[in-house]
């Protein structure tokens, strides 16, 4: 059995110690992260130049540091890690992990515009999603489960800002790929699988692919570990049920309001139809308060359409947190 050199042991120790400190908020505040990582990178490059690190060890150490840089948004150092790797790679799994990281970095380099909905920023994000998606498709045939799950997490993180109602239909193929890949692996990332099925079902619902939407909502319900999405899932399933069963009358007040809201969504481009539907929803959900409000508006000669507040398209509503690739 070959000995592991003191330099390799020292570098892995430094990297793992840094990871441990970064998990501790108190210790994290005491670290000058950029300087610490620069020091580690210098030792790796020096070890490689002196022949003390072979190609695979050099690349594995750089990957560990690269992941830290991506998590903490140190993009220049992340690019330095990529540039310092020795290519071509001999390990297939390693090669795909780098492809996922490169796609992630290409979007993170947008900096303050990363979460922006400007056309230029969206084009960069969509390109990154496409690159990651293509790599994930290829990895399904060649890589182990850990690498595939890492690719799924990266692709999901890239898709997060695109989950807006007016954007999510551009990523339905990506969501389907993630859902299928994790399902085939019987992945233990249960919460992620639940979230992906919820968002994929919403895409199908928008496209009137109601059977597929229902199937994905049902899968999400079975995967929901703590029941945190149960209310949303059941509400959407009831709405689809009412749509598909035309002769079934809504029973509860909430179902009646939900049924009218679905009609309102379909009529959102026809203002003449939209306003009466929304007024009726208000009467169902808060009859006394709503009618009093409308009366007050009428007495002040205000157009009751001003009572409807539309959500700003650019307002960020963060439902899910980004995950750390495995």
Residues 6+ apart with CB under 8 A from 172: 200, 203, 204, 207
Maximal CA-CA distance, the chain: 90
Q: What's the whole-number mean pLDDT along residues 217-222? A: 96
Task: Point out the least confidently predicted range of 31-45, 173-187, 248-262.
Answer: 248-262
Please state, rounded to an integer, the average pLDDT across all residues of the chain: 84
CA distance 20 to 49: 28
- Check pLDDT > 80 for residue 311: no
C-alpha angle 172/128/132, rounded to 5°?
A: 70
Q: What's the whole-number mean pLDDT along residues 273-288? A: 65
Q: What's the whole-number mean pLDDT along residues 125-132? A: 97
Question: For the chain, what percent of residues have pLDDT higher than 90?
Answer: 64
CA distance 144 to 164: 32
55-97 pLDDT, tens digit per residue, is 999 999 999 999 999 999 999 999 999 999 999 999 999 999 9
- Check pLDDT > 70 for residue 184: yes
CA distance 240 to 211: 9
Pair 159, 126: CB distance under 8 Å: no
Q: How many CB atoms lie within 10 A of CB 41?
A: 19
């Amino acid at each position: 059995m070959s000995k592991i050199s003191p330099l390799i042991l020292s570098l892995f120790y430094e990297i793992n110690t840094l990871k441990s400190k970064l998990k501790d908020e108190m210790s994290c505040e005491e670290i000058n992260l950029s300087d610490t990582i620069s020091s580690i990178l210098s030792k790796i490059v020096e070890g490689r130049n002196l022949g003390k690190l072979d190609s695979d060890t050099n690349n594995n150490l750089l990957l560990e540091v690269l992941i830290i840089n991506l998590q903490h948004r140190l993009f220049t150092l992340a690019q330095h890690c990529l540039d310092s790797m020795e290519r071509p790679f001999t390990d297939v799994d390693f090669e795909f992990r780098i492809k996922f990281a490169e796609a992630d970095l290409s979007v993170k380099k947008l900096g303050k515009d990363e979460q922006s909905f400007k056309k230029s920023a969206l084009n960069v994000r969509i390109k990154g999603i496409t690159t990651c998606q293509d790599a994930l498709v290829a990895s399904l045939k060649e890589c182990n489960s850990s690498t595939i799950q890492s690719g799924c997490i990266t692709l999901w993180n890239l898709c997060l800002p695109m989950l807006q109602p007016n954007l999510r239909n551009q990523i339905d193929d990506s969501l389907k790929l993630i859902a299928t890949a994790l399902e085939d692996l019987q992945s233990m990332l249960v919460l992620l699988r639940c979230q992906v099925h919820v968002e994929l079902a919403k895409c199908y619902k928008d496209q009137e692919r109601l059977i597929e939407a229902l199937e994905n909502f049902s899968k999400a319900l079975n995967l929901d570990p703590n029941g945190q999405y149960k209310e949303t899932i059941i509400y959407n399933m009831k709405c689809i049920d009412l749509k598909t069963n035309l002769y079934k009358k809504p029973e509860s007040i909430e179902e009646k309001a939900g049924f009218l809201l679905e009609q309102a969504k379909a009529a959102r481009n026809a203002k003449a139809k939209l306003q009466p539907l929304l007024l009726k929803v208000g009467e169902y959900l808060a009859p006394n308060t709503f009618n009093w409000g409308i009366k007050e508006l009428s007495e002040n000669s205000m157009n009751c359409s001003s009572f409807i507040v539309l959500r700003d398209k650019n307002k960020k509503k963060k439902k899910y947190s980004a995950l750390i690739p495995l």
